[in-house]
Amino acid sequence: MRLANKVTLITGGGTGLGLATAQMFHREGARVAICGRRADVLARASQSIGPGVLAFPCDVSQEGPVNDLVAAVVKAFGRLDILVHAAGVNLQREDITETTLDGFRKTFDINTTSVFLVGRAVVRAMTDGGAIVLIGSVVAEIGSHKRFAYSGSKAALIGLGRQMAVSLGGRDIRVNIVQPGMVHTEMTAGLLDGMKPETLDRMRKAYPLNRLGKPEDVAEACLFLASDAASWITGVALMVDGGLSAQ
Ligand SMILES: NC(=O)c1ccc[n+]([C@@H]2O[C@H](COP(=O)([O-])OP(=O)(O)OC[C@H]3O[C@@H](n4cnc5c(N)ncnc54)[C@H](OP(=O)(O)O)[C@@H]3O)[C@@H](O)[C@H]2O)c1
């Protein structure tokens, strides 16, 4: 067991990459808490992950609820060792001219300000070292036609993560970033499910490893970075993208 008794909070743990990570961490012995906004989704997810999983409805862009969330996790489990911050949104498919100020702000509130709010509360609670994994995106590194606010919000996440890594090293808190390519989840279903087979095939072939990602590909990277196997790794932005960004 690579995470025996490690108390872990996974934001966005009710679906997609967060859920796959919660399932893997639970199998590796972690004591898991998940959060998201939809209580019904969280209830189903915690059932599917296994016994002892706690689910807390919370909007990660809201300061008070985030502080309450972290306090509730510490109260329930007695400590906090690991954060995987997977909560995120891709609200619009837009270029700069199509982006609304409201959409831009909401995207940054949920994808970027949440790194500050959740990160701050978690770091205050990590009294004995810890590991933080932030889920960014490959589009923080490469340009894209229709993800203006989303790409920017994920690029900012890298800066916040590196700043945390440097400033928290002395407390033995490691902070790393995982940057996935395209994986079929709730977030991408609308795009991928509506694609013609030949378009999907073109997308697949754009990846040197000749396939899109699976949620488990991302969960494995989070597991490595959160575990003691990565005990001398901090401030890294790891591409988990089938080689897309290497071209
Ligand atoms: N799938 C991909 O291809 C891909 C690629 C690169 C990066 N990513 C990133 O990976 C992360 C996970 O995405 P996913 O693909 O697994 O999509 P997903 O299934 O839609 O997961 C996003 C999760 O975030 C939660 N969430 C959204 N807004 C929230 C808020 N304000 N407060 C709390 N929770 C919130 C959602 O739950 P509620 O709606 O119930 O709140 C949901 O469980 C995201 O950060 C995404 O940007 C995904």
Contacts of 237 (CB under 8 A, 6+ apart): 136, 140, 141, 158, 161, 162, 176, 177, 179
Residue nearest to atom 8 of ligand 1 (CA): 137
Q: What pLDDT, on the 0 to 100 scale, is given for residue 133?
A: 99
Tell me if residue 156 falls in helix, strand or coil.
helix
Tell me if residue 143 falls in helix, strand or coil.
coil
Residue 205 Cα distances to 202, 210, 226, angstroms: 5, 5, 31
What's 7-184+214-241's CATH class?
alpha beta
Task: Using alpha carbons, select from 64, 67, 70, 15 the residue that is nearest to residue 40.
Answer: 15
Residue 207 among the catalytic residues:
no
Asked whether residue 93 carries a pLDDT value surpassing 90, the answer given is: no
Q: What pLDDT, on the 0 to 100 scale, is given for residue 32?
A: 98
Q: Ligand 1 pocket: which residues have CB below 6 Å?
A: 11-12, 14-18, 35-38, 41, 58-61, 86-89, 110, 135, 137, 180, 182-183, 185-188
Strand pairing partners for 31?
Answer: 7
Amino acid code (one letter) for 94: E
| Angle between the N-to-C axes of helices 101-108 and 148-168, in degrees from 0 to 180, rounded to the nearest 10 | 30
Sheet strands side by side (includes 130-135): 54-57, 31-36, 7-11, 82-85, 130-135, 173-180, 237-240
Residues 212, 185: Cα–Cα separation, whole Å = 11
Per-residue model confidence as pLDDT tens digits over 96-128: 999 999 999 999 999 999 999 999 999 999 999
Tell me if residue 153 falls in helix, strand or coil.
helix
Asked whether residue 92 carries a pLDDT value surpassing 90, the answer given is: no
Q: What pLDDT, on the 0 to 100 scale, is given for residue 236?
A: 98
| Distance between Cα 34 and ligand 1 center (Å) | 12
Task: Using alpha carbons, select from 11, 34, 247, 21 the residue that is nearest to residue 142.
Answer: 247
Using 50, 70 and 90 to split pLDDT, how confident is the model at 144? Answer: confident
Q: What pLDDT, on the 0 to 100 scale, is given for residue 153?
A: 98
Per-residue model confidence as pLDDT tens digits over 14-50: 999 999 999 999 999 999 999 999 999 999 999 999 9
Per-residue model confidence as pLDDT tens digits over 181-198: 999 999 999 999 999 999
Q: Which of 15, 107, 195 to mutate to test the pocket of ligand 1 (most atoms within 8 A of CB)?
A: 15
Per-residue model confidence as pLDDT tens digits over 195-234: 999 999 999 999 999 999 999 999 999 999 999 999 999 9
Q: What pLDDT, on the 0 to 100 scale, is given for residue 41?
A: 98
The two structure tokens encoding residue 104: 């831009």
* Mean per-residue pLDDT, 65-89: 98
| Distance between Cα 229 and ligand 1 center (Å) | 26
